[in-house]
Amino acid sequence: MNWLLVLLGGAVGALLRYLTDRAVQARHDTVFPWGTFAVNVAGSMILGLLAGAGLAGAGSTDVQLLLGTGFCGALTTYSTFSYETLRLAETGAAFLAAVNVVASIVAGMGAVFIGLTFAQVIFG
């Protein structure tokens, strides 16, 4: 049963990542990977919320598998982030590559913190 929860969450997360990336990139006329940035930050916030719920005893193992492992695991993408950052650097946009690294880490960590804090307020 566990694998089915991960599979279902992953299917939804992967599709949402693709659709979100395409929608965000279509609205920005730049080489900066805004779509990947958006899904990674959003996924970090969701995972922070789930972790906070789990720490408060409000998140079941099934929810963690479905949303944390499956959905967030497929929604967020370290490999695409790495590839897009490398492509920026290789094509002469080294400054944007550095901005992508720093902004992704800062925004991702901030989003996890916000998610955890929000969970503490809700479930605390």
Contact 31, 88 (CB under 8 A): yes
73: annotated binding-site residue? yes
Alpha helices, H only, the chain: 2-26, 34-55, 61-63, 73-75, 78-90, 94-123
36: annotated binding-site residue? no
Provide the angle, in degrees to the nearest 10, between the axes of the packed helices 94-123 and 78-90.
160
Binding-site entries: 73, 76
Q: Summarize the annotated binding site for Na(+) as residue ranges.
A: 73, 76
